[in-house]
Structure 1
Amino acid sequence: MSDAREHVLAGTRGTLFVHEWPHPHPRYVALLVHGYGEHAGRYEEVAGVLGEHGAAVYAPDHMGHGRSAGERVVVTDFEDVVTDVHAVADLARAAHPGLPLVLVGHSMGGLISSRYAQRYGEELTALVLSGPVIGAWELPGRLLALDEIPDTPISPASLSRDPAVGAAYAADPLVWHGPMKRPTLEAFARTLETVAEGGDVGRLPVLWLHGDDDRLVPLPGSRTGVVRLTGGGSPGHLTERIYPGARHEVFLETNRAEVFADVTGFLDRVLTA
């Protein structure tokens, strides 16, 4: 999308770089919340789909990620990241007062978005979670039990069945290709507990997307968190889409046209309700 704009905000831990994909006459605002080690620029295709659907789209690079300030991939408190995302929402609402606000969070962004919905759910019209890190995610505990965090970066092949996705990820200089860092793992563990104990999001419509071959954030562990977040997984408030054979990044999977159709169909139902 050639008309993308850039903003720089004062975040909780330094400057925050924000992407905007504007729309001349939007009917809603979509806020994209990216995952661990990556950046919002990887969501240009998602932004394009949402833009064609009628959204003005905003997406920050989180602290320590992409072009935002901070030591690379270090997040000592995810509450600060939630506060940063809320600042981006304020930016979007100032530009588009009165429009519905939809939050779309992937992976670590699903954890951030879930906590956002617990803190600011009254401001949201819908929540979309893609491969969310909530519920029973065992990786932080396993790594924190070690004396030294192994230098084992995320495998590009675990992202999508489309080899071009892994190749682009491996070549992206704004993606972190090193080991996870202990402060971030500790923050993950704390925030998983915080979200588990933070209550459900009431009547907020939630769409949960997950690949059943997601080896980074296994589906069964996320299901625990999604059900709890949605007050028992009520069909009236939770829409679930599980994709056979799909890996972690369903927005970049070989069946992403199906995924995008599920997202826009869900939003049509919510926005016209």
Structure 2
Amino acid sequence: MGGETLMAIIRLSDTFRSASQDPTDVQYYIWYDADEAPKACLQLTHGVACYIDRYEELARFFVKNGYAVCGMDNLGHGRTAGLERLGIMPDDGADAVIEDMHTLTGIMKEKFPGLPYILHGHSLGSIYARCYCIKWSDELDGAIWEGSGWVPSLVTKLVPVMQKMSETGGPENSNKLMADAGNVILDLGIFPPETLLAWLSKDKVNQKLYIADPYNGAPASNSMNRVLIENLAKCSKKDWFRSIRHDLPVFICSGDKDPIGLWSFGIRRLFLTCVDYLDNMTFKLYDGRHEIHNDFCKDEVYRDLLDFCNEVADGIYKA
């Protein structure tokens, strides 16, 4: 296990074997204070065409505030995939990536036993986090769904279509033209868009940092699109949320101009879909786009995320 020390913060790096039948080592990291015992654990889950390094600042913020933090490069992303295979998922990727998240939870709970445990997911990571909550909400003390979205339950009809496309078009094939067209659509309402990825944030520096990093922005392959639709269907079908423990504290947050949340409409619909069943829900919109934790509103976002996690860790929420 490799490691580096900066000030009092330890950043450990290691791998574990993925649950996928396609042999893959999943790269993960753990951040914690070398001098102070943590009061709770936070697991971060990144979005599509991204990797966990982009959450380094958020991880260190939480460590400085008393948390042990972990995150992994999901299948098809970051150092788990390597630069040559970014955006490519195994045939069983939809289930395997959720199982891998659960494996990381087990690693953290073994290293920091008995602590409150909170799962955070952003963008596609929030879809994964919702799927995780369906299976293992009993193992969580809180969940954060950031930059998530809502689609009608009819999305389940797309699953066989995407599976067929992956088979006939080749699971590893991608279409950069389609990916660029998708970004143009996501940039609707921004005049003029600062870059093709203006929808990520209002902060131009953040946009440029994303574009400059070779681990970001890989066009999604047919297999990645299939995994996205399969997992989106799991957490969008009728009454999907009823498999979640009803008293699990959940914080839903998004930028009010986030196209993934349908410019506030979709993310509000997600909250309204769940709020009558889940007893401890919190909802907030920010003046920002998709990556609110990297946008001009990030100080407010950081404070609110910390406040929510502190309330979970302190047992404020009632069963």
Confirm or deny a common fold (TM above 0.5). yes
- Size of the aligned set, in residue pairs, is 268
Whether the 8 Å contact between 2:155 and 2:229 is mirrored in structure 1 is no
The answer on 1:41 being equivalent to 2:53 is yes
The answer on 1:214 being equivalent to 2:214 is no
Cα distance, 1:134–1:21 mapped onto 2, change above 3 Å: farther
Deviation at 1:162, TM superposition (A): 0.9
Equivalence map 1:17-36=2 (5 Å)? 17-23=27-33, 24-36=36-48
Q: 2:201: which partner in 1?
A: 160
Q: Which runs of 5+ in 2 are unaligned?
A: 184-195
Which AA in structure 2 matches 1:164? V
Question: Aligned to 1:69, which of 81, 84, 108?
Answer: 81
Superposed CA deviations along residues 120-170 of structure 1, whole A, max 9, x for unmatched, are 0001011011111444499996x9699984343453311111111001000
The answer on 1:187 being equivalent to 2:227 is yes
Deviation at 1:254, TM superposition (A): 0.2
Q: 1:89: which partner in 2?
A: 105
Q: 1:123: which partner in 2?
A: 139
After TM superposition, the structure 1 stretch with the greater mean CA deviation from structure 2, 181-190 or 118-127, is 181-190
After TM superposition, the structure 1 stretch with the greater mean CA deviation from structure 2, 199-208 or 114-123, is 199-208
Give 3-state SS (helix, strand or coil) of 1:196's partner: coil
Give 3-state SS (helix, strand or coil) of 1:174's partner: coil
Whether the 8 Å contact between 2:146 and 2:252 is mirrored in structure 1 is yes
Give 3-state SS (helix, strand or coil) of 1:248's partner: coil
Give 3-state SS (helix, strand or coil) of 2:231's partner: helix
Give 3-state SS (helix, strand or coil) of 1:44's partner: helix
Q: 1:243: which partner in 2?
A: 286
Which AA in structure 2 matches 1:221? G
Superposed CA deviations along residues 11-63 of structure 1, whole A, max 9, x for unmatched, are 12310000111223100010000000100000011101211221100000001
Q: 1:260: which partner in 2?
A: 302
Q: 1:15: which partner in 2?
A: 25
Deviation at 1:226, TM superposition (A): 3.8
Cα distance, 1:61–1:268 mapped onto 2, change above 3 Å: same
Measure the CA separation in 2 of the matches of 1:44 and 1:67. Answer: 15
Whether the 8 Å contact between 1:226 and 1:233 is mirrored in structure 2 is no
Measure the CA separation in 2 of the matches of 1:242 and 1:222. Answer: 9
Q: Which runs of 5+ in 1 are unaligned?
A: none
Give 3-state SS (helix, strand or coil) of 2:80's partner: coil
Deviation at 1:183, TM superposition (A): 2.1
Give 3-state SS (helix, strand or coil) of 1:94's partner: helix
- For normalisation by structure 2, the TM-score amounts to 0.77
Whether the 8 Å contact between 2:155 and 2:233 is mirrored in structure 1 is no
Superposed CA deviations along residues 44-91 of structure 1, whole A, max 9, x for unmatched, are 111012112211000000011000037321234322111001111111
Measure the CA separation in 2 of the matches of 1:223 and 1:188. Answer: 21
Provide the aligned C-alpha RMSD in A. Answer: 2.7
Q: 2:190: which partner in 1?
A: none
**Identity of matched residues, %:** 24
Q: 1:102: which partner in 2?
A: 118
Which structure is larger by alpha-carbon Rg, 1 or 2?
2
After TM superposition, the structure 1 stretch with the greater mean CA deviation from structure 2, 32-41 or 149-158, is 149-158
Give 3-state SS (helix, strand or coil) of 1:4's partner: strand
Measure the CA separation in 2 of the matches of 1:226 and 1:54. Answer: 29
Which AA in structure 1 matches 2:294? L
- For normalisation by structure 1, the TM-score amounts to 0.89
Cα distance, 1:196–1:138 mapped onto 2, change above 3 Å: closer
Deviation at 1:217, TM superposition (A): 3.9
Whether the 8 Å contact between 1:158 and 1:216 is mirrored in structure 2 is no
Give 3-state SS (helix, strand or coil) of 2:301's partner: helix
Whether the 8 Å contact between 1:196 and 1:225 is mirrored in structure 2 is no
Give 3-state SS (helix, strand or coil) of 2:113's partner: coil
Give 3-state SS (helix, strand or coil) of 2:283's partner: strand
Measure the CA separation in 2 of the matches of 1:216 and 1:171. Answer: 22
Question: Aligned to 2:217, which of 172, 176, 180?
Answer: 176
Measure the CA separation in 2 of the matches of 1:134 and 1:119. Answer: 20
Which AA in structure 1 matches 2:86? R
